[in-house]
Amino acid sequence: MTKRILVVEDTEDNRKIVRDLLSSVGYELIEAVDGAEGVALAQSERPDLILMDIQLPVVDGYEATRRIRAIPELAAVPIIAVTSYALSGDEAKTREAGCTGYVAKPFSPRQLLAKIREFLPNEG
Amino acid sequence: MISLNSLLVRPVARLPWRVQTKLLAAFLAIVALLIVLGACGLYELSRVNQRTEELINSERKIAAYRQVQHDTTSQLYSISSALLVSDQRTLDSALRQLNQFGYDLERLQFVAKDEINLLRKVRQEYDRFIAVATRIVGLIRSGQGDDAREAQLKELRPLADRLERLTNELVNKAEADVVADIEASEEAYRISQMIVIGFALGAIALSLVLGRTISLSLIGPLREIDATLNEIASGDFAHRLRIPNRDELGALAANINRTSEQLGRLYRELEEVSQHKSAFLANMSHELRTPLNAVLGYAELLVDGIYGELPERPKGVVERIQNNGRHLLALINDVLDLAKIEAGQLNLTIEDYSLGEVVDSVVAATEPLAAAKRLKFTATVQPGLPMARGDARRVSQVLLNLVGNAIKFTDQGEVAIGAAVEGRQFVLSVRDTGPGIADADQERIFGEFQQIDNTNTRKQGGTGLGLAISKRMIEMQGGVISVESVLGAGSTFRVVLPVQVEAMMEAAE
**What is the reported pLDDT for B1?**
47
Interchain contact, B286 vs A17, CB within 8 Å? no
Residues of A in contact with B281 (CB under 8 A): none
The residue of chain B nearest to residue A84, with distances taken between CA atoms, is B286
> What residue type is assigned to position A41 of the chain?
L
Name the packing angle between helices B392-409 and B355-372 (round to 10°).
Answer: 20
Half-sphere exposure of B107 (CA within 13 A, CB side): 15
- Quote the pLDDT of residue B505: 52
User: B305 or B133: whose pLDDT is higher?
Assistant: B305
Phi and psi torsions of B351, nearest 5°: -150, 165
Read off the pLDDT of residues B191-214 as tens digits, 9 standing for 90 and up: 888 888 888 888 888 888 888 888
Residue A3 backbone zone (phi > 0: left; psi -120 to 50: alpha; other: beta): beta
- Reported as type and span, the H/E element at residue B378 is strand B376-381
Average pLDDT of chain A to the nearest whole number: 87
d(CA B133, CA B129): 6
ipTM, 2 dp: 0.86
Chain A residue with Cα closest to B341? A86
- Tell me: the pLDDT tens digits for A106-120? 778 888 899 999 888
- B287, B306, B397, best to mutate vs chain A, most A CBs in 10 Å: B306
B 376-435 near A (Cβ less than 8 A):
391, 393
What domains sit in chain A, N to C, each tagged with a CATH number?
Answer: 4-115 (3.40.50.2300)
Chain B contact present for A96, CB below 8 A: no
Tell me the C-alpha distance between B197 and B206, whole Å: 14
Tell me whether B130 touches chain A (CB under 8 Å). no
Closest chain B CA to residue A85: B333
| pLDDT of B503 higher than 80 | no
Cross-strand pairs, A49: A5
- Interatomic CA distance for residues B200 and B203, integer angstroms: 5
Contact A17 B348 (CB under 8 A): no
Query: Is B344's Cβ below 8 Å from some Cβ in A?
Result: no
B290, B329, B337 ranked by CB distance to A11: nearest: B290
At residue A67, does pLDDT exceed 90? yes
Distance, CA of B191 to chain centre: 44
Q: Is the pLDDT of residue B345 over 80?
A: no
Residue B10 contacts A, CB cutoff 8 Å: no
Mutate to test the interface with A, among B287, B304, B327 (most CBs of A within 10 A): B304
pLDDT interval class at B458 (50, 70, 90) = very low
Q: Is the pLDDT of residue B150 over 80?
A: yes
Q: Looking at the predicted structure, is the pLDDT value of residue B91 above 70?
A: yes
How distant, in Å, are the alpha carbons of A82, B206, B369, B397, B410 from that of B372? 32, 94, 5, 22, 12
Please check whether residue A26 touches B, CB under 8 A: no
Q: Best mutation site among A11, A17, A105 for testing chain B: the one with the most B CBs within 10 Å?
A: A17
pLDDT at B20 > cutoff 50: yes
Q: Are B295 and B321 in contact (CB under 8 A)?
A: yes
Collect all residues with Cβ–Cβ distance below 8 Å to B321 and sequence separation of at least 6: B295, B299
| Residue B424: Cβ within 10 Å count | 11
Q: How many CA atoms lie within 13 A of B44 on its CB side?
A: 20
Which residues are within 8 A (CB) of B292 and not within 5 positions of it... i.e. 6 or more apart? A106, B325, B328, B329, B332
Could you give the domains of chain B?
Answer: 19-223 (1.20.120.1730), 270-339 (1.10.287), 347-508 (3.30.565.10)
Nearest to B286 among A20, A21, A84 (CB): A84
Q: What does pTM read for this prediction?
A: 0.52
Judge: A109–B300 Cβ closer than 8 Å, yes or no: yes
HEC secondary structure over B53-79: HHHHHHHHHHHHHHHHHHHHHHHHHHH
**B398 Cα to chain A: minimum distance (Å):** 14
> What CA–CA distance (Å, rounded) separates B85 from B102?
25
Q: Is A88 on the interface with B (CB under 8 A)?
A: yes
Contact yes or no for A108 and B306 at CB 8 A: no
Other C-beta atoms closer than 10 Å to the C-beta of B221 total 22
Identify the residue with better confidence: B202 or B8. Answer: B202
Q: At B509, is the pLDDT very low, low, confident or very high (cuts 50, 70, 90)?
A: very low
Inter-chain residue contact A20 with B348, CB threshold 8 Å:
no
Q: What is the pLDDT of residue B318?
A: 93
Nearest to B170 by CA among B104, B110, B128, B119: B119
What is the distance between the alpha carbons of residues B111 and B65, in angstroms, rounded to a whole number? 10
Nearest to A86 among B291, B298, B333 (CB): B333
- Answer for the pair A68, A91: CB distance below 8 angstroms, yes or no: no
Alpha-carbon gap, residue A124 to A2, rounded angstroms: 10
The 10s digit of each residue's pLDDT in A84-112 is 754 556 777 888 888 998 888 777 888 88
Confidence check: pLDDT of B475 > 50: yes
pLDDT one-digit tens code per residue, B246-304: 888 888 888 999 999 999 999 999 989 888 887 787 777 778 888 888 899 999 999 98
* A14 contact B CB<8A: yes
Nearest CA to A11 among B294, B306, B283?
A: B294
User: CB distance A89–B289 less than 8 Å?
Assistant: no
- Please tell me if residue A11 touches chain B, with a CB cutoff of 8 Å: yes
Condensed to tens digits (0 to 9), the pLDDT of residues B152-188 reads 888 888 888 888 888 788 788 888 888 888 888 788 7
Residue B326 touches partner A, C-beta closer than 8 Å: no
Question: Exposed/middle/buried for A4, CB within 10 Å: 0-12, 13-18, 19+?
Answer: middle
Alpha carbon B116 to chain centroid distance? 74
- Window 305-324 of B: residues touching A by CB (8 A cutoff) are 306-307
**Is residue B241 within 8 Å of residue B256, measured between CB atoms?**
yes
* B304–chain A Cβ distance below 8 A for any pair: yes
In order of B138, B208, B409, B418, B447, the CA distances from B435 in angstroms are 158, 77, 7, 20, 20
Instruction: Look at strands A4-8 and A49-53 and give their pairing.
Output: parallel
- Choosing among B290, B307, B322, which should be mutated to test the A contact, i.e. which has the most A CBs within 10 A? B290
A93 and chain B: CB distance < 8 Å anywhere? no
- What b/e readout covers B153-167, taking b as 16+ CB neighbours within 10 angstroms? eebbeebbebbbebb
Residue B242: Cβ within 10 Å count: 9
CA distance A81 to A54: 7
Tell me the CA end-to-end span of chain A in Å, nearest whole number: 12
- Residues of A with Cβ-Cβ distance to B391 under 8 angstroms: 88
- Given this model, what pLDDT does residue B440 score? 80
Burial of A123 (0-12, 13-18, 19+ CB in 10 A): middle
What 3-state DSSP class applies to B450?
A: coil
Greater model confidence, B282 or B74: B74
